[in-house]
Structure 1
């Protein structure tokens, strides 16, 4: 069974390419997994680089986009790399971005069927109940992105004993006005994506909120000093998450590791 650890780090492949030494430093701080986000290519070049740069850390994709890659190509890369520390997170992207976006559930189901990788090495980006059910049936579990704690509670009920590993974006900043401004700038892209806005509305946020209200920002993006952020991250564990993938918009991973009680070098 793959060891994800309790906390990991999420970073886009665009921002983390060529930074294997830094990822190895995160491993030494005690983070258990590095999630390569931003739709990495089918060649899995950065995941391969990070597998080579680390010793114990799980390297996962978060996520390979099913509209931008073919499962046979991704599987070939997975087997070429040949590491038991590599996990493939796959997902359907966004209708406003991916021009081929049609019937995403059917594409996900077909992609998983054709992805010749052991089930325990596959996870599925999942927001709505139907895709969470697919994750439980066909993969090791789910890797939701940009979700409130209430989503984690619901996802746990649907997934049963399968892995639940949400990404959680954070800002280490004690001034809430500054923290929200940092978060709002980063999240502006997602305010225009219907799959995210619909998901937030499932949890009681209004259409006006989904344009970036303080209430939405506070629910999605823990902020404060490292101790306050750590407490809010643990809320996802209390709600049923097995692992939390932390994406800090302003760094401070060492301080967060200490506040989370991670063991350096473990």
Structure 2
């Protein structure tokens, strides 16, 4: 059964006002809320609030970087949230990026694959309540034991782009988190997972700009695409997906320092595939295409729109109701 998620917190709304947001999501049929961690809220606080305000929602991080917390602190944060929401929390892990890790958190971004694998293995043991004592390839831990291991250890998911990390997720994690891909790209990524174990979840973060102003949506989409897909890991991901020639002009302009030219070089068809836009009902059906392609948990990353800016809280509640899976069933 497909679950539907929303990325939280929603931009422009204080965390203290998210009780109404979580209630609206539940009423609209959303089953999950997934937090991101870049330079806004941390990954855990919005989920802790959701755990208290809407006990039916499932919670997940998409993602928590493996570099920016020590292994023990990451285990403690995950254990606390798993204790607050037993059986409803999943910990999504990822390497993040050199900017987030190195430039903003003053941590050396080295050997991201090995660090992710090592943190995954450490957490698997620590969250079971085991004492972890020994050296991994990228760090060593001396006699760490959680004082309060969760009664239900959370599933561990990996953010993965290319074959190496996808195969690591298939071999050692409980699920995979996909990002910045079109619905038509999903089968290629899923194929790298091979035969999946029971309860292995494929989660995908999907950028959605529910507006009928296509010019606005494409302008915003181009800005996001040039910000993300020029990061080396994402650039290699899209080369692997077959967009080498299509996105080469963008990468060339970006490398030459021409930011405006880079944005202009992104074709409409790429923007439309990666940033869904149109009326909410149309966006909802485009999200369903990800589920049809093999995603178990499509997670909407809601982008700002002129309609939301003009309509405020009432417009947001209406939009959530129109985007949610229950609206589709009612229709």
Q: Normalising by structure 2, report the TM-score.
A: 0.71
Whole-angstrom CA distance in 2 between matches of 1:68 and 1:262: 41
**1:200 aligned to 2:238?**
yes
Alignment of 1:23-172 (within 5 A): 23-39=22-38, 41=42, 44-81=44-81, 82=83, 83=85, 84-99=87-102, 100-115=108-123, 116-117=126-127, 121-159=155-193, 160-161=195-196, 162-172=200-210
Partner of 1:253: 320
Whole-angstrom CA distance in 2 between matches of 1:10 and 1:103: 28
In the TM superposition, what is the alpha-carbon distance from 1:135 to its structure 2 partner?
A: 1.0
Whole-angstrom CA distance in 2 between matches of 1:35 and 1:140: 16
**1:6 aligned to 2:16?**
no
* Structure 2 contact 28–326 (Cα < 8 Å) conserved: no
Between stretches 252-261 and 124-133, larger displacement belongs to 252-261
In the TM superposition, what is the alpha-carbon distance from 1:227 to its structure 2 partner?
A: 2.3
Whole-angstrom CA distance in 2 between matches of 1:120 and 1:158: 24
What RMSD, in angstroms, separates the aligned Cα atoms of the two structures? 2.5
Whole-angstrom CA distance in 2 between matches of 1:47 and 1:15: 17
Partner of 1:217: 271
Whole-angstrom CA distance in 1 between matches of 2:218 and 2:326: 21
Q: 1:254 to 1:223 in 2, by over 3 A?
A: same
Q: 1:260 to 1:188 in 2, by over 3 A?
A: farther
Whole-angstrom CA distance in 1 between matches of 2:47 and 2:296: 22
In the TM superposition, what is the alpha-carbon distance from 1:14 to its structure 2 partner?
A: 7.5
In the TM superposition, what is the alpha-carbon distance from 1:37 to its structure 2 partner?
A: 0.5
Cα shift readout 1:73-120 (whole Å, capped 9, x = no counterpart): 122122223022111111000124322211111000100011133676
In the TM superposition, what is the alpha-carbon distance from 1:6 to its structure 2 partner?
A: 2.2
Q: 1:184 to 1:102 in 2, by over 3 A?
A: same
Cα shift readout 1:174-225 (whole Å, capped 9, x = no counterpart): 2322221132334442143111122122222232256441232112111111
Q: Normalising by structure 1, report the TM-score.
A: 0.87
Which residues of structure 2 form unaligned runs of 5+? 103-107, 129-152, 252-261, 305-315
In the TM superposition, what is the alpha-carbon distance from 1:127 to its structure 2 partner?
A: 0.7
* Structure 2 contact 161–237 (Cα < 8 Å) conserved: yes
* Structure 2 contact 24–321 (Cα < 8 Å) conserved: no
Whole-angstrom CA distance in 2 between matches of 1:110 and 1:47: 25
* Structure 1 contact 183–221 (Cα < 8 Å) conserved: yes
